[in-house]
Structure 1
Amino acid sequence: MDISVVVPLYNEVESLPELLAWIRRVANEHHFTYEVIMVDDGSTDGSWQLIEVLKETYPEIYAIKFRRNYGKSAALNVGFAAASGEVVITMDADLQDSPDEIPVLHNRIKEEKLDLISGYKQKRHDPLTKTLPTKLFNAATRKMSGIKNLHDFNCGLKAYRKDVIKNIEVYGEMHRYIPVLAKWAGFTRIDEQVVKHYPRKYGTTKFGFSRFVNGFLDLLSIFFVGKFSKRPMHFFGSMGVLSFFGGFIIIVWLILDKLISIAHGSAYRNVTDQPLFYIALVAIIVGSQLFLTGFISELVSRNASDKNNYQIEKVI
């Protein structure tokens, strides 16, 4: 199969008929063999009931329904697991991503032997409350990830070589940083494609203020996980050792200072009467705790169970 189109959706009942007709038209014009994997992330507006009806007209649909809303990352992870196409395209269901971009993305993946192409919406039709945080996160992600050639990490329209989506795990809300996950997994042939962004035609945006905070926390998380997930002792252990020995040296210095003062008959203060002693004591305790945290993290990382367990209600 040439292409798998993975479409995560949540309450997009109005846009689905138009989206499927658009994808079919593009695929037929370019003679692609394809499937459309739709993952209903707990919609409550009748999206699933409509998909069941559309399945009769569009046999290329493979649809999965969650029992409740888990988020876009969960929908993408399950969609990736089900995909069988040599090139996998992801797009949002709100018609702001254009299926007309599919042929270019497919051809670039195949001809340029790229691992991943991320869409770049140069001209966006979103409110400032959405575009400004996106620009800030994109700049921070470029800096922290070292992927300098991407301007829009969070664009829903992306293309992947099949090997990429079968070797990364998208969880939490890490869909914003899939290019970073791919790079950490060793897929470094990453590029971008300028794509057209359409104004929202139906429904309302799912963007809220919480995504601003979550995006920042996810960025820190993806950086830490990518750098230290296989060796957490390197992070916690090094900090713990520095803190422990810093406190230990201070205490030794305080004791030696007292002994020298006694030897010279000079006035001195008891070690425990000095604030510096308690600072050193805290540093030793914190250092020991950090070291133990690193040790426990090593054990957890070696025996971690699958993070992606989702309740699937129906599959058609």
Structure 2
Amino acid sequence: MNISVVIPLLNEQDSLKELHDWIAKVMQSNHFSYEIIFIDDGSTDNSWQVISDLNTQNDTVKGIRFLKNFGKSQALHAGFKKAQGDVVITMDADLQDSPDEIPELYNMIVNDGYDLVSGWKKKRYDSIIAKNLPSKLFNWAARRTSGVKLHDFNCGLKAYKNLVVKNVDVHGEMHRYIPVLSKNAGFTKIGEKVVQHQARKYGETKFGMNRFIHGFLDLITIWFISRFGRQPMHLFGALGVIMFMIGFGFSIYLGIDKLYLNTTGRLITERPQFYIALSTMIIGTQFFVAGFLGEIILRTKRNKERYLIKDELNF
């Protein structure tokens, strides 16, 4: 199979039929073998019924329905797990991503040898204050901390080699950082393509300031995991050594001062250096324990799905 199109969605009943017909037209005109995987992330409208009807009309349509809303990352994870195509395309269900971009994205993966190609919505039709400015700030911070030189990390329109989606763990709200996760996994040939962005035709955006804040918190998490995720002792052990040595140094100073220099008869517990030494040595020990616990967790962790599937179609 040439292409798997993975489409996470939440309450997009009005756009699904139009999006399906558009994708099918592009696939047929380019003679691609394909599958369309819709992941219904706990919609409360008739999205699942629309997907069921599309499956009846076209057996290339497949569906996954979550028991409740678990988030876009979990939806992508479920879709990636089922995808069979040599190239996996992701796009949003709101018709803001154009299926006409699929052939060129496919060629960049197959012919140009990219592991991942990310779309760049150079000209946007979103609200400047609500989305454009926060997005620019977010992308700037992501470039500086990750070293991945993309203009639009959060663009839903991306293309991947099948091997990439099978080996990158997407969870929490990490979908916007899949290029960074891919780089950390060893898939370093990452490209970018300017793609057409269209104004939302139906419904309303799911973007809010909470997603903007969560995005930056996730960016810090990604930075930490990429630097110390495999060996947490390298961070916590180093901090533990520094803190413990500071405390130990103050302890030696207090001992020497008490034995040889103290002419006033002050008790050690009456001196502020005593509490500095005690606190830093305790904190240093706690950092060491945190590092050991992190190493133990890494060696004993078990993978567990972070979502519950209610229904599946055509799998």
Q: Could you tell me the TM-score, scaled by structure 2's length?
A: 0.97
Give the corresponding residue for 1:104: 104
Query: Mean Cα displacement is larger for which, 235-244 or 3-12?
Result: 235-244
- Percent identity (aligned): 54
Q: Secondary structure at the match of 2:119?
A: strand
* 1:298-309 map, 5 Å: 298-309=295-306
CA distance in 2, matches of 1:157, 1:41: 18
Contiguous gaps of at least 5 residues in structure 2: none
* Matches for 1:157-168 after TM superposition, within 5 Å: 157-168=157-168
Is residue 45 from structure 1 mapped to residue 42 from structure 2 by the alignment? no
- Contact preservation (8 Å) 1:261, 1:267: no
- 288, 292, 309: which one pairs with 1:312? 309
- Answer yes or no: is the 8 Å Cα contact 2:89–2:102 preserved in 1: yes
Indicate if the aligned counterparts of 2:5 and 2:36 stay in contact, CA closer than 8 A: yes
- Residue 74 of structure 2: aligned partner: 74
Q: Map 1:283-298 to 2 at 5 A.
A: 283-298=280-295
SS in 2 for 1:269: coil
Where does residue 125 of structure 1 map in the other structure? 125
Structure 1 CA distance for aligned equivalents of residues 3 and 268 of structure 2: 72
- Give the 5 Å matches for 1:59-98: 59-98=59-98
Work out whether residues 120 and 195 of structure 2, in 8 Å CA contact, stay in contact via their aligned partners in 1: yes
The alignment partner of 2:108 has SS state of helix
Q: CA deviation at 1:226?
A: 1.9
Q: Please tell me the residue identity of whatever aligns with 1:117.
A: V
**1:196 aligned residue:** 196
The CA deviation at 1:267 is: 3.5
Q: CA RMSD in A?
A: 1.1
Matched, 1:271 2:272: no
Q: Give 2:223's aligned residue.
A: 223
Query: 2:12: which partner in 1?
Result: 12
- Segment of structure 1 superposing worse, 27-36 or 301-310: 301-310
Query: CA separation in 1, counterparts of 2:86 and 2:308?
Result: 27
The secondary structure found in structure 2 opposite 1:14 is helix
SS of structure 1 residue aligned to 2:50: helix
Alignment partner of 2:13: what SS? coil
Matched residue of 2:31: which SS? coil
- Take 2:265 and 2:23, find their aligned partners in 1: how far apart are those partners? 83
Secondary structure of the corresponding residue to residue 53 of structure 2: helix
Deviation at residue 272 of structure 1 after TM alignment? 1.6
Runs of 4+ residues deviating >3 angstroms: 266-269
* Residues in 2 aligned to 1:205 and 1:90: alpha-carbon distance in whole angstroms: 18
How far apart, in 1, do the equivalents of 2:113 and 2:35 lie? 22
Asked if the contact 2:171/2:306 (under 8 Å) is kept, the reply is: no
Deviations 1:53-109 (A, max 9, x none): 111112111100001000000000000000000010000000000000000100011
Question: Which has the larger displacement, 230-239 or 90-99?
Answer: 230-239
> What code does the residue aligned with 2:130 have?
T
Alpha-carbon shift at residue 245 of structure 1 (Å): 1.1
Note if contact 1:261-1:268 (Cα within 8 Å) is conserved in structure 2: no
Shift of 1:307: 4.0
Equivalent position of 1:141 in the other structure: 142
**Does the CA-based 8 Å contact 2:66-2:310 persist in structure 1?**
yes
Question: What SS does the aligned partner of 1:293 have?
Answer: helix
Residue 268 of structure 1, CA deviation? 5.6
Cα deviation 1:221-277 (Å, max 9, x = unaligned): 111112212111111111111111111111211221232314xxx436332211122
- Does the 8 A contact of 2:6 with 2:89 survive in 1? yes
In the aligned structure 2, how far is the partner of 1:250 from the partner of 1:155? 53
Q: Deviations over 1:191-221 (max 9, x none)?
A: 1000011000000111112112211110111
Give the SS at the match of 1:204.
coil
In 1, the alpha carbon distance for the partners of 2:158 and 2:266 equals: 67
Secondary structure of 2:168's counterpart equals coil
The one-letter amino acid of 1:300's match is I
Return the alpha-carbon distance in structure 1 between the equivalents of residues 238 and 87 of structure 2. Answer: 42
TM-score (structure 1 length as normaliser)? 0.96
Q: Letter of the aligned partner of 2:122 in structure 1?
A: Q
